[in-house]
């Protein structure tokens, strides 16, 4: 039996690339019994507490991680991938969390964790679409380039060169924002050197 919530819950499921959480269902007005009934009727599978997926949809790993760990921000290799600044799919997926965050459960998922100062955590946070169309939290291009330059020795030189080259060629680059982030992170001279060569 189709309920008054089906249309809303279907649209959430579609927008999230086949993933829905009990919290999202409640925000949409569905009661717990109504959501449980929806899960059963649609054959959704529980992947973790409060997170359900449509078994007919190929799972989007980034979207699943975001649903389970909403405070994780995709960064470094993963952000390069989301912004089309690398051809390499991130293996493992990398995220940044506040230095006080308990990342044990994330590590257990095989995710690469980067820690940042609390005052840098929000800097450059944006909503970005994964290849499957799910919206996730990731750092914008400029913050990602700053993180790349800060951790340069940890990156494959070919990945580093491609990311800088593709950023410089991108139409939506924002050099003023890049400069602001570099100043805030105290890496202005390093960013300037890299950009001077690339531009």
Residue 28, token pair as written in the block: 């949409």
**17: confidence class by pLDDT, cuts 50, 70, 90:** confident
Q: Is residue 113 part of a domain?
A: yes
Same domain for 122 and 86, yes or no, is yes
- Is residue 65, in this structure, part of any structural domain at all? no
- Are 190 and 147 in the same domain? yes
CB count within 10 Å of CB 11 equals 11
Neighbours of 58 (CB within 10 A): 10
- Model confidence band, residue 141 (pLDDT cutoffs 50, 70, 90): very high
Answer yes or no: do 17 and 107 share one domain: no
Give 119-138 pLDDT, tens digit per residue: 999 999 999 999 888 889 99
State how far the Cα of 197 lies from the Cα of 121, in Å rounded to an integer: 29
Whether residue 9 is contained in a domain is answered as yes
- Is 182 in the same domain as 115? yes
Residue 184, in any domain of the structure: yes
Which one of 9-13, 56-60, 111-115 scores highest in mean pLDDT? 111-115
* Cα radius of gyration (the chain): 19
Is 64 part of a structural domain of the chain? no
CA atoms within 13 A on the CB side of 179: 6
pLDDT tens for 73-98 read 999 999 999 999 999 888 899 999 99
What's the domain range around 24?
Answer: 5-59
Q: Are residues 131 and 91 in the same domain?
A: yes
Distance CA(38)–CA(36), nearest Å, equals 5
């Amino acid at each position: 039996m189709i309920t008054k919530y089906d249309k809303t819950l279907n649209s959430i499921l579609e927008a999230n690339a086949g993933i829905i959480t009990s919290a999202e269902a409640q925000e949409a007005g569905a009661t717990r019994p109504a959501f449980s009934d929806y899960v059963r009727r649609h054959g959704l599978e529980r992947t973790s507490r409060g997170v359900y997926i449509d078994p007919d949809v190929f799972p989007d790993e980034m979207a699943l991680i975001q649903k389970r760990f909403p405070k994780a921000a995709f960064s470094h290799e993963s952000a390069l991938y989301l912004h089309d600044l690398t051809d390499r799919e991130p293996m493992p997926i990398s995220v940044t969390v506040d230095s006080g965050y308990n990342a044990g459960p994330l590590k257990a998922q095989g995710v690469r964790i980067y820690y940042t100062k609390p005052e840098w955590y929000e800097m450059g946070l944006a909503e970005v679409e994964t290849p499957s169309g799910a919206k996730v939290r990731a750092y914008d291009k400029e913050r990602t380039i700053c993180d790349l330059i800060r951790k340069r020795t940890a990156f494959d030189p070919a990945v580093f060169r491609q990311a800088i080259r593709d950023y410089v060629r991108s139409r939506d680059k924002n050099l003023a924002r890049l400069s602001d982030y570099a100043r805030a992170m105290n890496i202005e001279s390093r960013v300037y050197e890299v950009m001077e060569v690339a531009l």
